[in-house]
Amino acid sequence: MSEGRLDYVKLAPEGLAKMRELEHYLNADAGLERVLTELVKLQASLMNGCESCIKLHTGELRKMGESEERIAEVPEWRNSALYTQRERAALAWTEAVTNIQDGHAPDVLYEAVRANFSEVETVNLTLVITTINAWNRIAIALGGHSGNR
pLDDT for residue 129:
98
Going by C-alpha positions, the residue among 76, 72, 74 that lies closest to residue 36 is 74
pLDDT band at 92 (very low <50, low <70, confident <90, very high): very high
pLDDT band at 144 (very low <50, low <70, confident <90, very high): low
Q: What is the mean pLDDT of residues 117-131?
A: 98
Encode burial over 104-126: b for 16+ CB neighbours within 10 A, e otherwise. eeeeebbebbeebbeeebbebbb
Q: What is the mean pLDDT of residues 11-36?
A: 94
pLDDT at 54 over 80: yes
Domain boundaries, the chain: 8-143
Rounded Cα distance, 91 and 41, in Å: 9
Query: Residue 142 in 3-state DSSP?
Result: helix
pLDDT band at 148 (very low <50, low <70, confident <90, very high): very low
Say if CB 30 and CB 122 are below 8 A apart: no
pLDDT for residue 105:
92
Q: What is the mean pLDDT of residues 8-24?
A: 93
pLDDT band at 2 (very low <50, low <70, confident <90, very high): very low
Rounded Cα distance, 93 and 140, in Å: 22
pLDDT at 128 over 50: yes
Going by C-alpha positions, the residue among 110, 86, 81, 84 that lies closest to residue 97 is 110
8-143 is classed CATH 1.20.1290.10: yes
Rounded Cα distance, 13 and 126, in Å: 24
* Host H or E run for residue 144: none
pLDDT band at 102 (very low <50, low <70, confident <90, very high): confident
pLDDT at 1 over 50: no
pLDDT at 147 over 80: no
